[in-house]
Amino acid sequence: MPPAGDREGYWGPTTSTLDWCEENYAVTWYIAEFWNTVSNLIMIIPPIFGAIQSVRDGLEKRYIAAYLALTVVGMGSWCFHMTLKYEMQLLDELPMIYSCCIFVYCMFECFKMKNSVNYHLLFTLVLFSLIVTTVYLKVKEPVFHQVMYGMLVFTLVLRSVYIVTWVYPWLRGLGYTSLGLFLLGFLLWNIDNIFCESLRNFRKKVPPIIGVTTQFHAWWHILTGLGSYLHILFSLYTRTLYLRYRPKVKFLFGIWPVILFEPLRKH
pLDDT tens by residue, 43-55: 999 999 999 999 9
- pLDDT-derived band of residue 257, with 50, 70 and 90 as boundaries? confident
Does 173 score more than 90 pLDDT? yes
Helix (H, G, I), strand (E, B) or coil at 248: strand
Tell me the C-alpha distance between 136 and 215, whole Å. 28
Q: What backbone phi and psi angles, to 5 degrees, belong to 259?
A: -110, 130
Query: How far apart are alpha carbons 1 and 158 in whole angstroms?
Result: 35
- Mean pLDDT, the chain, rounded, equals 92
146, 247, 258 from 261: Cα distances, Å: 36, 4, 10
Query: Is-contact 66 235, C-beta < 8 A?
Result: yes
Q: What is the mean pLDDT of residues 142-165?
A: 96
> Which pLDDT score is estimated for 267?
42
pLDDT tier, 263 (very low <50, low <70, confident <90, very high otherwise): low
pTM of the model: 0.92
Model pLDDT, residue 246:
83
Least confident of 71-80, 202-211, 242-251: 242-251
What does the CA dihedral 259, 260, 263, 267 come to, rounded to 10 degrees? -130
The predicted model gives 48-75 an average pLDDT of: 95
pLDDT at 259: 84
Residue 245 pLDDT more than 90?
no
Q: How far apart are CA 150 and CA 196, in angstroms?
A: 22
Q: What confidence tier does 6 reach under pLDDT thresholds 50, 70, 90?
A: low
Give the distance from CA 165 to its chain's centroid: 24
Strand partners, 260: 248
**Pick the residue with more confidence: 58 or 96?**
96
Over residues 246-254, the mean pLDDT reads 80
Q: Which amino acid is at 256?
A: W
Query: Cα-flanking dihedrals φ and ψ of residue 28, to 5°?
Result: -145, 150
